[in-house]
Amino acid sequence: MGSIEAERTTTGWAATDPSGILSPYTYSLRETGPEDVFIKVTYCGVCHTDIHQVKNDLGMSNYPIVPGHEVVGEVIEVGTDVTKFRVGDCVGVGLLVGCCRKCSSCTSNIEQYCNKKIWSYNDVYGDGKPTQGGFAESMVVDQKFVVKIPDGLAPEQAAPLLCAGLTVYSPLRRFDLTKSGLRAGILGLGGVGHMGVKIAKAMGHHVTVISSSDKKREEAMDHLGADAYVVSSDADQMQQAVDSLDYILDTIPVFHPLEPYLSMLKVDGRLIIMGVLAQPLQFVTPVLMLGEFMDIPCFKRRRSITGTFIGSVAESGEMLEFCKEKGITSMIEVVKMDYINKAFERLEKNDVSVWSGER
């Protein structure tokens, strides 16, 4: 992972306790090793997972933590053995910065499932030094975990694609859900949800956004181009949507029952869990096998629930090219780093207008 003979420093915004409040923090970076890329960070997306980590919601945080895993920047220096990048390139870094490279997941190019993967922050390198993320001036990253941002894709637009876009793209590709004409459900309309709408539409799917209220109807229909909108608290709307969807991307990061959404799936429909939460989810098994309730004669449902975790580095590059080809961008607000605590506060309150312009 590079030499540490002569360390340099950088400044990031770190949480030092479970309050999750970020403040400037200076720490050391290793020198650029043979396989390393030294990156000047220019943009970094804000993800709900960052909040979980800085507030120790998952009970595994080690402070201080510099979060940020949707990183875009400029290559400033490359190691002697780096072949994929050169100085001046616009590149991205996602949630991982290391893996064992030997296990079946690594040799199958799905390193995100490696048992020894190294997270971009709140983790340690092989030498025991902590990893820190993209809410910082710079990073040093092994070239294996760096991707080229395609020419013509604006860097600030590309940043959220490295997590939200990839999290959507990878399971659709892996579960053979890319053919045109499928009927998709997007449960929740945050960062991952809005990318779910855009990517599913670009694949030619009929897209239904499912939300707890009418609050995001305009955003879903007018700004993102969804085909339908279902309010999950409206029993009549939910009943009309029973047995109508090929798959649902469940992006909700808080506890919610699954039965109402499982009933919306067709035979062989798939509920893909994407939200990260510490509480157990729940459902009754007949919804997977028989229908909504035991007394409804609806057999051969064969619905399934599956989890998914970001995507591989290879899929990251493929996803970025797909987004460039289809003209897909993130719908974002651009803020300065000193606004980050307010951004976290707004994200927790679901007060983020994803189609807004610069702040």
- Closest-CA residue to 171 (of 121, 245, 112): 112
Per-position DSSP letters for 291-355, written without gaps between them: -SSTTS-------EEEE-----HHHHHHHHHHHHHHT---------GGGHHHHHHHHHTT---TT
Domain ranges in the chain are 9-148+331-349, 163-307
Domain 9-148+331-349 and domain 163-307 have a common topology: no
* pLDDT of res. 301: 66
* pLDDT of res. 55: 96
What is the SS3 assignment for 163? coil
pTM, entire model = 0.87
Q: Which CATH architecture has domain 163-307?
A: 3-Layer(aba) Sandwich (3.40)
Question: Residue 355 has which token pair?
Answer: 């189609």
Strands (E), the chain: 8-15, 22-29, 36-44, 71-78, 90-93, 96-98, 118-119, 138-142, 146-148, 183-187, 206-211, 228-231, 245-250, 265-273, 304-307
**What gap in Å lies between CA 232 and CA 284, rounded to an integer?**
18
- From first to last of its 359 residues, what are the pLDDT tens digits of the chain? 544 455 699 999 999 999 999 999 999 999 999 999 999 999 999 988 899 999 998 899 999 999 999 999 999 999 999 999 999 999 999 999 999 999 999 999 999 999 999 999 999 998 899 999 999 999 999 999 999 999 999 999 999 999 999 999 999 999 999 999 999 999 999 888 999 999 999 999 999 999 999 999 999 999 999 999 999 999 999 999 999 999 999 998 888 888 889 989 998 999 999 887 767 777 777 667 665 454 444 444 688 889 889 999 999 999 999 999 999 988 788 999 999 999 999 988 877 654 333 33
Q: Where are the alpha helices (DSSP H) in 214-304?
A: 217-218, 235-240, 259-262, 286-289
Could you please state the CATH topology (level 3) that the domain comprising 9-148+331-349 is classified under. Answer: Quinone Oxidoreductase; Chain A, domain 1 (3.90.180)
* pLDDT of res. 352: 66
Give buried/exposed letters for 122-159 (b at 16+ CB in 10 A, else e): bbebeeeebbbbbbbebbbbbbbbbbbbeeebeebbbb
